[in-house]
């Protein structure tokens, strides 16, 4: 199981609350942990579709209303419906995490956990990306700080995004299944963020759907000094569950 670190809270409340609906049968309980992962794109850096080598010092994202569900049938994010969980557990706080925390090989970041949740398979998750209420990213939902280089030119950037988005996601897609809570056991769910969907990826063909939808880095140079970027975050498809998709709506 991955281990991570507890990160900055945007509220002084330390208690975690949850709501339950339905039942798992037999009174079996376990612990469910929630992780945030910016992947190697954030931890190790990458080259954008337009040839800029990007390194991140900090990537602050603020997450709220994080909720896990046991659904039957499984939730399909492509349908765009609300998640209807037979069992629902959620975190009551808002959290600001630095996805670039740690070294190049750092694990995903532990946001929080809920103990004594009903056992079963939590095969859907939702969260909101919201504006932070306090430093280091107050007033912004996403702040990217780092350096980009191309052809001898270096740009130190701070890119602020204010868009607030909701993400409804199905089951995690990756090397292992997640969210299966057994009696007395601990399971985890992951909120994954694909920053190549914003900047593109030089290692992916330019005519690939990913690069066709990405903006590249040069688009952001005019905002590199901390001006707020006004872009359609719904089209960026930032939030995922591993490689699994989410239904996203942004203001």
Task: Give the rounded percent of residues in the chain with a pLDDT score beyond 70.
Answer: 90
How high is the pLDDT of residue 248?
Answer: 97
The pLDDT assigned to 4 comes to: 39
Structure tokens at 3: 């281990």
| The pLDDT value given to residue 133 | 97
How far, in Å, CA of 56 to CA of 106, rounded?
14
- Give the containing element (helix H, strand E) for 14: none
Tokens read off for 145: 């700080």
Q: What is the pLDDT of residues 5-25, one digit of tens each?
A: 334 433 333 333 344 433 444
CB atoms within 10 A of CB 102: 14
Name the strand (E) or helix (H) holding 144.
strand 142-150
Which single residue is written with the structure tokens 């602050």? 60
Residues of the chain under the 50 pLDDT cut: 1-25
Q: Are 208 and 49 in contact (CB under 8 A)?
A: no
For residues 246 and 76, what is the distance between their CA atoms, to the nearest angstrom? 9
| Alpha carbon distance, N-terminus to C-terminus of the chain | 35
Cβ 156 vs Cβ 163: under 8 Å = no
Q: Where are the domains of the chain?
A: 29-250
User: Which residues is 145 bridged to in the sheet?
Assistant: 58, 158
Dihedral sign computed on CA atoms, order 100, 103, 107, 113: negative
- Secondary structure (H, E, C), 154-183: EEEEEEEECCCEEEEECCCECCCCCCEECC
Q: Quick one: pLDDT at residue 67? A: 98
Question: Taking a C-beta distance cutoff of 8 angstroms, is the pair 94, 134 a contact?
Answer: no
Cα separation values, 117 from 121, 131, 178, Å: 11, 29, 15
Q: Phi/psi at 42 (nearest 5 deg)?
A: -85, -45
């Amino acid at each position: 199981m991955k281990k991570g670190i507890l990160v900055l809270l945007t509220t002084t409340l330390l208690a975690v609350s949850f709501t339950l609906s339905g039942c798992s049968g037999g009174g079996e309980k376990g612990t469910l942990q929630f992780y945030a992962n910016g992947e190697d794109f954030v931890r190790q850096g990458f080259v954008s579709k337009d040839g800029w080598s990007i390194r991140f010092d900090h990537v602050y994202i603020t997450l709220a209303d994080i909720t896990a569900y046991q659904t039957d049938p499984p939730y399909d994010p492509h349908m765009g419906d609300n998640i209807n969980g037979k069992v629902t557990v959620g975190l009551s706080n808002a959290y600001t995490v630095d996805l670039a925390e740690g070294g190049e090989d750092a694990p995903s970041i532990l946001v929080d956990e809920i103990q004594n949740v009903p056992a079963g398979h939590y095969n859907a998750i939702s969260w909101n990306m919201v504006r932070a209420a306090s430093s280091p990213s107050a007033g912004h939902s996403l702040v990217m700080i780092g350096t980009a280089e191309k052809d001898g030119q270096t740009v130190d950037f701070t890119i602020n995004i204010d868009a607030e988005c909701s993400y409804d996601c199905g089951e995690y897609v990756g090397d292992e299944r997640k969210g299966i809570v057994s009696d007395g056991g601990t399971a985890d769910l992951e909120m994954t963020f694909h920053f190549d969907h914003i900047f593109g990826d030089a290692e992916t063909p330019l005519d690939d759907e990913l690069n066709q939808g990405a903006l590249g880095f040069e688009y952001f140079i005019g905002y590199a000094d901390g001006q707020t970027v006004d872009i359609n975050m719904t089209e960026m498809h930032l939030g995922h569950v591993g490689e699994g998709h989410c239904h996203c709506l942004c203001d």
